[in-house]
Amino acid sequence: MGLTLGLSDKGRWIEDHGVIHNMMFDTETKWKYSFKTTQNKTEWWDNGVLPLWITAQRQGRKTASFHYPGGGAKYDGEAVQRALVESYNHPDDNETEWRENIDIVMNWFTQEDFDFVTLYYGEPDNVGHRVGPETEERRVMIRQIDRTVGYLVEAIERHGLAEHLNVIITSDHGMTTVKKRPNVTEILLTNYIKFRDLVKFDIVDYGGFGMLLPIPGQEEAAYQALKDAHPHLHVFKKEDFPERFHFAKHKRVLPIVMFGDSGYNLNGQLIIYFNKGDHGFDNDLLEMKTIFRAFGPDFKKNHLAEPFDSIHIYPLMCRILGITPEPHNGSLAVTWDMLLEASDQQAGEKAQRAAILRNTGIGLGVVIGLIAIVFVSSVAHTAVRRKKE
């Protein structure tokens, strides 16, 4: 996922949360693990930064993860109270199952008193990779997602939650069409360096972002061979990687870091990467940007916010949940104006709401590949319900 990777459930930059790539890797064993095979691997996900599930649990909330990345791991020795982890070959595009999963999560919310649940779907990411973002097949998938969002709204109404549930729709990255020969000269690193002589380990062949671990003593030789090799390839020593990416300071980042211009994938020794759409390019590019929509009892209506980084979603969710956040890189000030709390309300209403916020919160989260839908219940509704119980 490269330069567009981010985890809004932690509110931290990549160089802080440490999940620096879609693939887990080990430079000594040379093992590389695909995204779905890392879901139970605590050693990849637990890097001293707590996700929202654990923070909420430690403040008395009941949390669950349904196919969400990292949900099967333990953090500081603690697991999510309920975690369903999808298998490696689990299908991502079954619309019937999408609806069934929504119903399951709604029942967790209404019948089992969960406070925060995350649910993940792998589309439209997969179809975008396979056939490209500007295709009819992907448009068909977008229409399927649109129907699913409609089903979510209907399910919220059916469960009597319309007045109590906030909905956030966002995404974790964009996507662009991969440029292929004969239209362009593709980036093939073996044209410029001899892997056998210079490279101990590499993370390339996975889109527009890559890293190299040179053979000891060959760091400068590898860098010099690549730095001006291709007009659409940007190569940096780790310590010189642009600060605006908030990426390179983590110990997992390899000594040489590279990315291509939009649509230029990084190929290693052979061109074996057949995806027609990809991400992981410069996140300043419009096609790498995400979306953000929110509605519900805690949000203003028809409010237009300025663009912001996804790290700021974390303190927003903590505020609505009524919990104290862990240290994070976001700021509630960025999203504060979205909330009704920021409006001029009657003094009594504001005081009552503040008192409830100190005591309890409830939420339900969904991420759909490039699309994330987060449901966070009105804190007042949960407090009243629990008081009755």
Full DSSP string of 111-155: HS--SEEEEEE-TTHHHHHHH-SSSHHHHHHHHHHHHHHHHHHHH
**Residue found by looking up tokens 């990315």 in the block:** 259
Q: What is the pLDDT of residue 240?
A: 98
Residue 163 sits in the same domain as residue 69: yes
pLDDT grade for 387, boundaries at 50, 70 and 90: low
Rounded to whole angstroms, the Cα distance separating 299 from 285 reads 29
Phi then psi for residue 61, to 5 deg, are -90, 160
Residue 229 Cα distances to 18, 145, 191, 226, angstroms = 29, 41, 9, 5
Burial bucket for residue 99 (CB in 10 Å: 0-12, 13-18, 19+)? middle
Residues 6+ apart with CB under 8 A from 187: 230, 232, 233, 260, 264, 265, 266, 267
Residue 34 is assigned to a structural domain of this protein? yes
Question: Are 257 and 289 found together in one domain?
Answer: no
The pLDDT score that the predictor gives to residue 58 is 97
> At residue 291, does pLDDT exceed 60?
yes
In a domain, 234, yes or no: yes
Torsion of CA 321, 324, 328, 329, to 10 degrees: 70
Same domain, 224 and 106: no
pLDDT reported for residue 170:
78
Structural domain of 39 = 2-177+284-388
**Predicted local distance difference test score (pLDDT) of residue 117:** 84
Work out the mean pLDDT of the chain and round it to a whole number: 86
Q: What's the domain count of the chain?
A: 2
Q: Are the beta carbons of 84 and 65 closer than 8 angstroms?
A: yes
Query: What whole-number distance in Å separates Cα of residue 40 and Cα of residue 360?
Result: 30
Strand locations in the chain (E) = 24-25, 32-33, 63-66, 74-75, 78-79, 82-84, 116-121, 165-170, 176-177, 187-188, 199-203, 209-214, 233-237, 256-260, 266-267, 277-278, 292-295, 362-368, 371-377
CB atoms within 10 A of CB 348: 8
Shared-domain flag, residues 45 and 145: yes
Q: Is 39 in the same domain as 18?
A: yes
pLDDT in tens, 236-290: 999 999 999 999 999 999 999 999 999 999 999 999 878 999 998 999 999 999 8
Which pair of structure tokens corresponds to residue 145? 């997602």
Structural domain includes residue 200 = yes
pTM summary value: 0.87
Q: Is residue 279 part of a domain?
A: no
What CATH number does the domain containing 269 carry?
Answer: 3.30.1360.180
Note the pLDDT tens digit of each residue in 101-134.
999 989 998 899 888 888 888 899 999 999 999 9
